[in-house]
Amino acid sequence: MTIREESAGVWYHKGQTCCTAGKLDRAIVCYNRALELSPDDPVVWKRKGFVLLKIGRYSEADACYDRALELDPDDATAWQRKGYALARLGAHADAIACCDRAIALSPKRIIAWQSRGWLLGLMCRYGEAVDCYEKVLAIDPDRGSAAWHRERMCERRDLEALASEVREAERFVEVPACIRQVIVERDYANIGIARTVVRELARQAERPAVQRP
């Protein structure tokens, strides 16, 4: 009878094969067995975390990346994916911190910049999100998804600016209903002209009244 030697590497590669075939639950079983045999292998912890992300088990994925980063604190991929897990758990500020760490380790890591932009958009920090997508496009000018998201963030940033300008102007003048309608309907095409009108109304209100004789 042939006795096949069991090793962590064998189970890791079995997990990889299962993952490629879409057998994600089976892949986790294989990675668990690999970790029983080699508990201090950060690559296996990362791979298990990746599969857990794919099936939506974000808390468990986060724990896997914590262990991977204990073993290899300078792994930019692990930081970026931990950030994604935290984002899915609603911990947006912590997720951004993870993206920042990934970027510090690997400044041209496009996925980390895109994840940071996505998170900042969720937090309504649109101007900062635009900056992130600009960074992506500086690295890869042909990345269409980044260009699309940059434009969406620009629209939301400008709409937010218009709303703020309207609130300020309404302290002094009557703002036309059509301007407020641009905000309500998210009429991005007319934000520019609406802001120009509001600014002109504000300027007129600031002019000193002409004293009549």
Type of residue at 162: L
154 within 8 A of 140, measured Cβ to Cβ: no
Q: Which domain holds residue 35?
A: 7-85
Whether 187 is in a domain gets the answer no
Q: What CATH code is carried by the domain that includes residue 60?
A: 1.25.40.10
Predicted confidence (pLDDT) per residue in 147-195, tens digit: 999 999 999 999 999 999 999 988 888 899 999 999 999 999 999 999 9
Number of domains in the chain: 1
Is pLDDT of 5 > 50? no
Whether 30 is in a domain gets the answer yes
pTM value is: 0.82
The runs of H, that is alpha helices, within 21-173 are 24-37, 42-54, 58-71, 76-88, 92-105, 110-122, 126-139, 144-169
